[in-house]
């Protein structure tokens, strides 16, 4: 099972192999172009170097992070700073269920974790008192528990609000497994 850090390293290796430059070379190019804002860097990488948005976004994040002091926490810990311990406990239980699906690539985003198996299939996003689980389950009926994600995040078809570790039951595990299987 891939950790967040392993997922990031894998994404960076893929970018370097696909686009023919090391991350240090990308950083040097960005510095030479005197680009400082994330949106500027992403647009420049897409327009001048033909990178797709996801790769340009990761290169921009790495380049900006290179100029910052090292973070004191990992990306998962950062999501839960200032949140009740009960919310982190929900995440940890949810993560146990996700680990059982197989090889999952984790891509930390600002405010949530994107989960991929060949394609994105889910996301974990902490809220004030619960954890939102976004799933891509095209064709699945919306229920009281398996809500529509239309007002939550357009990348996902469904959302489950996980209010306690006990909510990570067989039904939720089945939905996670179905989304995982459909992604690859």
Angle between helices 170-182 and 85-99 (to 10 degrees): 60
> What order of strands is seen across the sheet that includes strand 119-126?
105-109, 112-117, 119-126, 131-135, 158-162, 147-148
Q: Collapsing DSSP states into helix, strand and coil, what is residue 135?
A: strand
Residues 32-79 pLDDT 10s:
999 889 999 999 999 999 999 999 999 998 998 887 655 545 788 888
Residues 113-160 pLDDT 10s:
999 999 999 999 999 999 999 999 999 999 999 999 999 999 999 999
Q: Count the neighbouring beta carbons within 10 Å of the beta carbon of residue 168.
A: 22
Report the predicted TM-score, pTM, of the whole model to 2 decimal places.
0.62
């Amino acid at each position: 099972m891939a950790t967040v850090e392993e997922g990031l390293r894998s994404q960076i290796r893929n970018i370097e192999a696909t686009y023919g430059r090391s991350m240090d070379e990308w950083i040097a190019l960005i510095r030479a172009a005197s680009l400082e804002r994330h949106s500027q860097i992403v647009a420049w990488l897409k327009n001048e170097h033909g990178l797709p948005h996801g790769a340009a976004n990761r290169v921009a994040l790495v380049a900006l992070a290179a100029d910052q002091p090292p973070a004191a926490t990992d990306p998962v810990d950062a999501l839960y700073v200032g949140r009740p311990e009960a919310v982190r406990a929900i995440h940890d239980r949810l993560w146990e269920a996700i680990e059982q699906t197989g090889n999952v690539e984790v891509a930390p985003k600002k405010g949530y974790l994107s989960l991929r198996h060949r394609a994105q299939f889910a996301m974990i996003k902490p809220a004030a008192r619960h954890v939102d689980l976004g799933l891509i389950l095209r064709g699945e009926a919306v229920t009281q528990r398996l809500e529509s994600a239309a007002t939550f995040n357009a990348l996902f078809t469904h959302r489950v609000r996980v209010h306690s570790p006990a909510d990570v039951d067989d039904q939720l595990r089945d939905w996670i497994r179905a989304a995982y299987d459909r992604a690859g």
